[in-house]
Amino acid sequence: MKLIWKFFKSIRLTIYLCVIYIILSLWGSFSLQIDGDLYKTIDNEVLFNWLRQTGRPAINKTSWIFLLIINIVFLGINTLVCTIDRLANIWKRVFNRNLNIQIEFLNSLKFRSEKIAEGDPEVIKNVILTQLHRKGYNTITSVPDKQQTTDNACPRIIIYADKNCFFAFAEVIVHFAFILLLLGHLITSIYGSKSIDNVAWKNYKTVIPNKTFSVLLHDINMRFYPSGQPEDFSADIGIIKDNNEVTRKVIKINYPLFYDGNVVYLTNLGYDQSANWPYAVLTVNSDPGAKFVLWAGIFFMIGLLGTFFVTYRRIWIFITSLENGQIEIKAGAWINQTGYKMDKELENII
Amino acid sequence: MDKLFLYFFSVSLVLAGIGSSASITFFAFPRKSLLNILKHILFVTLFTYSVSLILRTILCRYAPMTGLFESLFFFGWSICFMCFIVWLRFGETFFLPFSFPMLFLLTLKAYFSSWKINPLFPALKTIWFALHVSTSFLAYSIFLIGFGGGACYLLKSASRYSDVLPERDKMDFITYRASAWGFFLFTFSMFAGGIWAYLAWCNYFIWTPKEIWSILLWTFYAFYLHARLLNEWSGKRCAWLGILGFIFTMFTYLGVSLLMKSSHSL
């Protein structure tokens, strides 16, 4: 079990899966070109239905989609395991503000700065704290006379400071959103439904296959530019359930009608020349995963904002009174991004 | 108004041409003064391009991002804008010798494309379309800066460029930040595009080469950003990824639309 967990938490696995995804997508985009006829109906059906009815019989040509799905499942598991694994560390980092650290830890940090000063360590501590507070850091400080560490017998004050610490969870939000997105798409791919080319005649009820309601077309409206290109087209429709009109809306492209988990789209309209009677062509989809996908998108953007545009910083500062009466100030910092300006910030602080 | 637009757009083309010539000169005779000249050309080009953009918007009364001409034109403006933003943020111009030739080629292609203003198709009359397209081009533009950053990182090893270009760490950092901003913008573009497609085309995702390549490009940059988390994936490797990323970007934008059959336009 541990081995499986270790396998799936690896960021190296993420990289390999991304590379495989890219290769499969390349294969797929060319397959869509070469076998265009095979994929004609893929957008008119729910994915898993299409895979069952069209994809599986032509497995030699559509195997890239199956491999892509397997790859995405692995990517989803990898993301989930990696996120859970990192969550514990992030939690510890944010809520366990540990001052019981050794000089070796400070020396292992990427960003470091040090200085020798003279004066009262308490005054130096207060100056540094003021600087940190001015820059928006939250701080905690150790008591000097109790801080006798193994590596140095001199009295030492340790300051810990962090900034934007809750943004450490931003990457978790991104990964959570990615899993939600996959989940939403999976739900739609299994439980969704699509009904295309439903012709609704004016003043007639149109029965939609496999739905408990029908659609009544009240009227249509078309406007054209002087050039003859369509400017606007719309259809006034009502939803009929148990012989009652339960809702009514003028639908047009970009403005479909939402009813009871179903979406009614206007895809075409016109006049039948032989009957001299207006009609509208409707698509009725049920997309139970769409809400998940929408929320995933929102969370994804929020998470990315926090991950890329807010820097979460942690600083440790050791103020040590040396035997010769001087004060040694050593600082080290950790930052969640490649913090090229962090050196300067440390220098400013101490 | 038409003439004014023609005037400003032509000036933008000439400036992009001058910038390209200065860029080529920089590759042959690398001098810091040339980078400084390119910076000033960028400021003027951004001004003339922005005026052209405002004029075009007034002329067509919608966000000018439909069709080949407008998409190339908007891409050109996005390159100027993002180069300016990166200069503002980091005070660096080392990527400009790579940005200007691209800007010139796009502007030249736009100049010789049909400028005709077509009435807007009903499906395009939504804020989601404008958001989708504008953020796409801003992302493409910043990926171009990532490309320039990566290429400069590799050029730095040649002795003739070593004094002119900034420190490798700084270029590496700017390339990484460019990719992160680009990834954010491109994710937003896909999100806006998904909402638009859901409302207009009945599906938030359709199986066309354009959509597949868009996800491929997104995955590529996700891969790049994850790869940077591993210590051994930095420096030269990341520089090459920045270059490869922009090649994917250009194929997603132009290659797929021009070479493959796709219901998704430019």
Query: What percentage of chain A reaches a pLDDT higher than 70?
Result: 95
Decide if A301 touches B, using CB distance below 8 A.
yes
Question: Model confidence over B29-41: pLDDT tens digits?
Answer: 888 899 999 999 9
pLDDT in tens, B104-115: 999 999 999 888
CA distance A153 to chain B (A): 35
Report, as an integer, the average pLDDT of B201-221: 91
Q: Which of A58, A93, A128 is the last residue of a domain?
A: A93
Write out the two tokens for A268: 């075409």
Domain count, chain B: 1
Residue A175 included in any domain = no
- Rounded to the nearest 10 degrees, how much is the dihedral formed by the CA atoms of A30, A33, A37, A41? 70
Mapped onto helix, strand or coil, the DSSP state of residue B9 is helix
Report ipTM for this prediction: 0.88
Asked if the structure places residue B162 within a domain, the reply is yes
Distance of alpha carbon B67 from alpha carbon A160, whole angstroms: 56
Assigned domain for A250 exists = yes
pLDDT of A146 reads 47
Integer-rounded Cα radius of gyration of chain B:
18
Contacts A19 to B, Cβ<8 Å:
223
Express each pLDDT in B11-26 by its tens digit: 999 999 999 999 999 9
Res A292 pLDDT > 80 = yes
- CB contact A224 to B (< 8 Å): no
Token output for A96: 């366990």
Shortest Cα–Cα distance, A15 to chain B (Å): 6
In angstroms, the separation between the Cα of residue B224 and the nearest Cα of chain A is 8
Backbone phi and psi for residue B75, each to the nearest 5 degrees, phi listed first: -60, -45
Choosing from A93, A113, A140, the residue where a domain stops is A93
Dist. CA B83–CA B143, nearest whole Å: 11
Radius of gyration for the alpha carbons in chain A, expressed in angstroms and rounded: 31
Does some domain include residue B265? no
Q: How far apart are CA A62 and CA A51, in angstroms?
A: 9
Q: Domain range for residue A345?
A: 101-164+311-349
Q: What is the pLDDT of residues A155-166, one digit of tens each?
A: 778 888 888 888
| Strongest mean pLDDT among A40-44, A66-70, A161-165 | A66-70
For residues B52-66, average pLDDT: 90
In this predicted structure, the answer to whether residue B96 has a pLDDT above a threshold of 90 is yes
| Interface size between A and B, measured as CB pairs under 8 A | 117
Q: Are residues A203 and A260 in the same domain?
A: yes
Alpha helices in chain A (DSSP H): 2-9, 11-34, 47-50, 59-95, 103-108, 121-134, 170-191, 290-309, 342-349
C-alpha distance from B105 to closest chain A C-alpha (Å):
27
Tell me, what's the pLDDT at B232?
62
Chain A residues in contact with B203 by the CB 8 A cut-off are: 43, 285
Using CA atoms in the order A310, B176, A178, A255, what is the torsion angle rounded to 10 degrees?
80
Per-residue model confidence as pLDDT tens digits over B150-167: 999 998 877 788 888 888
Full residue range of the structural domain in which residue B172 is found = 2-259
Mean pLDDT of chain B, nearest integer: 90
- Does a structural domain hold residue A291? no
Answer whether B198 sits within 8 Å of A290, measured CB to CB: yes
Per cent of chain A over pLDDT 90 is: 44
Whether A7 and A65 share a structural domain? yes
pLDDT at A180 over 70: yes
Q: What is the pLDDT of residue B2?
A: 83
pLDDT band per the 50, 70, 90 thresholds, residue A338: low
Q: Is residue B137 part of a domain?
A: yes
Between strands A193-201 and A277-286, the pairing is antiparallel
Q: Which pLDDT tens digit goes with each residue over A185-203? A: 999 999 999 999 899 999 9
pLDDT above 50 (res A209): yes
> Which domain-ending residue is among A72, A93, A114?
A93
Buried b (16+ CB within 10 A) or exposed e, B192-229: bbbbbbbbbbbbbbbbbbbbbbbbbbbbbbbbbbbbbe
Residue A220 lies in a domain: yes
Residue A295 lies in a domain: no
Domain tally, chain A: 3
Give me the residue label for tokens 């979460």. A312
Question: CB B209 to CB A29 under 8 A?
Answer: yes
